[in-house]
Structure 1
Amino acid sequence: MKTYLLISAILLTGIQLYSQKAERLDTIFANEHKNVALFFPQPISQGITGASHFVFSHNRERQQYFGLLQAKPGTESNLLVIDAGGSVYSYILKYRKDLSRLNYFIQGTERIGNAKPDRPGSAKKVEPKRNQFDRDTHYQSFGSYLLRKKERIGRVKKRNQGIILSVENIVFNQNELYFVIQIENQSSLDYDVNFLNLSVTTRQKGKKKSMQSLKKDPVFAYKAPTKIKKGHTARLVYVFPKFSLSNDRQVLLELNEAKGERDVVLKISHRFINNPN
C-alpha cells in the first residue's frame, strides 16, 4: 500500500484539474469469474490499482484502447488510469459476486485532469504513436494501391489441377513486407480456401535430409478470399514484419483446399525476400 501511495504521488504531480471542487468518483464492480472491460477514448499508457486483490491488465508494449479488470473478495480500492494523451481517470473499485455490467465505455468528459498540462515555454508537443486504427487504414490503402499497380518480381507460380498460385510482387514499406498474391481457378469446380499459410523452411544437410519449418502470421490480410469461383481470380495482400533469409532458407506459400485435395505449395527463393521492390 505504501508503494502505491508513492507511485500515485509521483504520477499526480503537475495534474491540471478542471475544478477545485472534489470530484465524485464512479464505482466499478468486478469479481474473479468474469472480465470487466474498460474502453477509453485514447490508448492506455498506465493503469494502477490500489490493492493487490484488484488486477487491471492492459497491453503495455502495444498500447490499446481497452483494459480488463478482475477482483478477489476484499475491501474496496481505487483505479488510476492515464492515457496516451495524458488524460487522468480515477474510479472506486468494489468486489461484487454478481455483476450486472461487464463493459464500460469511458467518455473523455469523465477525466479528472491532465498529467501533461500545456504551459507557455513547455517542451515541444510530442506526436502520439500511430494506433491500430491508423495502421489498419494504412494497410488497406497501401494494399489497394499495390493491387492496382502492375509491377512484378518475376515468374513465381505453381499449378495443381487448374488452381494456380502465384506471388506477383513483394514490396518493402515502413519496415514491413507486402506480398501481392494471386489465386486463379481454371478448374470446373469452385475452390473453398481452408488456409493460405506462409512459412520459412531450412533444409538440413547430410545423409538424412529434413526440413524445418517456421510459420509466419501476417499482421494484416487485405481481400483474403474464402472462395474462388470456377473461372475466377482472386488477388490479395499479406503484410508481414520485415524479415530476411540466409542462402539455405526459402519461403513456402501453402494454399490448402477445404474438403478437397487441390492443395498448392509455392517455393519462393531467398533472393526475392532479400531484394523486395
Structure 2
Amino acid sequence: MKITHLILFAALVLLTTVDLKAQGISRGSSQTIPASQLQISDRMTTNLIFPYAIKSVDRGNRNILVQKASAVENILQVKAENSELQNSNLTVITEDGSFYSFAVEYKEVPQKLNLKIENAEYSELADFGKTVQMESKLAETASKVAKKNRAMPVIRQRRFLTGIALTGIYIEKDLLYFQLRLENQTNITYDIEQFRLFILDNRQSKRSASQELEQSPLLVYGNAERIPAQSTQVLVVVLPKFTIPDQKHLKIELMEQNGGRHLQIKVKNRYLMNAMQVD
C-alpha cells in the first residue's frame, strides 16, 4: 500500500508541476507589431527610403522583386514580377536594429511610388553590435573620400576603352582609404568577376613560386560588381594601415567575368608615404 501511495503522490506532483509550467507559458506576454500597407506593380518601381542602411530583407513571396538602389545602402526598390501576385508581406531590418513590416498587395498603379520611411517605433530589436557601428563610420568617411578631387599623380591602366585609375590615398585613424576611378567607354557592361589587392615582388623568378600577400578590405564603398556601359564611377577601398617592403609593390587587379578586359595597376611604397589626412 505504501508503494502505491508513493506512486500516486509522485504522479500528482508531476501533473501539478506540468500544469504550473503550462500556466507560466500561457501567461507570457507578447507584443504585436503592426504592418504598414505597401502597394507594388509589375509596371512601376516602388522606392522605400530608410533612415539607415539596409541589413536584411525577407520576402513573403518570391514574386516580390527587391534590390538595393545602385551605390547606396538605404534605398530598397520593390516591384512585382507579374500581375498575379497574391497578397504577401515584406520584412526589412536596418543597421540600427530597427524592424519594419509591410503588408504587400498588387496594384497596377500604386498610390505612392516613393516612400520615405521614418524612424521605426520598434527599434533596436536586432543587435548587430560594434561591427555595424564600425561599418557605418567607415562608410561615412569613405563617402567624403569619394567626393574629393585628385590628390596625387594618377596611376592608371586603360585597355579596350576601359580603365582603372588610383587618384588618391588618404589615412585616418590607422586606416588607409584608396580612391579609385573606374571607366567604361564602350556599350558593353563590364561585369567584375574579381577585385583584388595584394603585395608581391617587383621581379618574380620563373624558378620560384610567386608569394602574394592578400590585402582584405574592411569596406569597399561603391559598385564593385559592374561598370555600366558608357560610365565612370568611383570606388573607395578601406584597408588597415600598412607599408610595402623594398622590392615589392601593391597590385590592384580587376578581372572581367566571361571577358578579357582585365585591368591592373602597381602602387609603390612612396605613394603610401604621401597619404593625406581625411579632412
TM-score normalized with structure 2 length: 0.50
Give the C-alpha shift of residue 184 in structure 1. Answer: 0.3
**Counterpart for residue 139 of structure 2:** 140
**Counterpart for residue 268 of structure 1:** 267
User: Which residue identity lines up with residue 201 of structure 1 in the other structure?
Assistant: L
Distance 1:262 1:174 in 2: 36
Give the C-alpha shift of residue 245 in structure 1. Answer: 1.2
Q: Deviations over 1:217-260 (max 9, x none)?
A: 10111113312121101211111100001221101000000111
**Counterpart for residue 188 of structure 1:** 187
User: Which residue identity lines up with residue 228 of structure 1 in the other structure?
Assistant: I
Q: Deviations over 1:121-161 (max 9, x none)?
A: xxxxxxxxx92222111111111111111142112101111
User: Which residue identity lines up with residue 216 of structure 1 in the other structure?
Assistant: Q
Structure-2 change in CA distance of 1:249 and 1:191 (3 Å) = same
Distance 1:181 1:209 in 2: 32
Does the 8 Å contact 1:191/1:229 carry over to 2? Answer: yes
Distance 2:205 2:132 in 1: 48
Secondary structure of 1:140 counterpart: helix
Structure-2 change in CA distance of 1:192 and 1:138 (3 Å) = same
Distance 1:204 1:266 in 2: 15
User: Please, what is the CA RMSD of the aligned residues?
Assistant: 2.3
Q: Deviations over 1:155-197 (max 9, x none)?
A: 2101111111011111111101111111100123111111211
Distance 2:251 2:206 in 1: 23
Does the 8 Å contact 2:158/2:263 carry over to 1? Answer: yes
**Counterpart for residue 257 of structure 2:** 258
Aligned length: 150
1:117-266 matches, within 5 Å, as 131-203=130-202, 211-266=210-265
Does the 8 Å contact 1:203/1:210 carry over to 2? Answer: no
Does the 8 Å contact 1:203/1:211 carry over to 2? Answer: no
TM-score normalized with structure 1 length: 0.50
Query: Which of the two has higher C-alpha Rg?
Result: 2
Distance 2:223 2:268 in 1: 23
Structure-2 change in CA distance of 1:255 and 1:206 (3 Å) = closer
Give the C-alpha shift of residue 204 in structure 1. Answer: 5.3
Sequence identity, in percent? 23
Flag structure 2 segments of 5+ consecutive residues without an equivalent: 1-24, 26-128
Flag structure 1 segments of 5+ consecutive residues without an equivalent: 1-25, 27-129
Structure-2 change in CA distance of 1:142 and 1:206 (3 Å) = closer
Distance 1:205 1:276 in 2: 27
